[in-house]
Structure 1
Amino acid sequence: MRIVVDHDKCSGLGLCEAEAPDLFEVQDDGSLVVLDDSPGSEQIEIARAACEACPTEALTLVES
């Protein structure tokens, strides 16, 4: 699985970072950095929860 960010939709609220701080980081300017765009099997559920927490639907998990 791979995490894809639609930066046009992302508003930098940080709910993804709150759910999965090892995978996401919101920068001081509000931009989102994905720290690991291909999380291992042990992090898939955390990544899924972070994607579902995004109110702007900017995050998607896709098959790699």
Structure 2
Amino acid sequence: MHSFNRAGGYGFVIPVGSGEQVYFRAEDIEGGDRSLSEGQQVTFVLVLGDGRFEARELRT
């Protein structure tokens, strides 16, 4: 996990083996509090969003 803006409800993750950040929304975090800590490792599914890849189904 790279960064998460709690107030804005979005963040960016970097897939293993890539230097590109991938956008995600807080509602795509699975679990109770829908919050992540910076540097936390997560698994996710990559999908093609509005002209860019987005992370969905984020799990710790």
Higher relative contact order (CA 8 A, sep 6+): 1
Structure showing the higher helix proportion among its residues: 1
TM-score range, shorter chain: under 0.3
TM-score by length of 1: 0.26
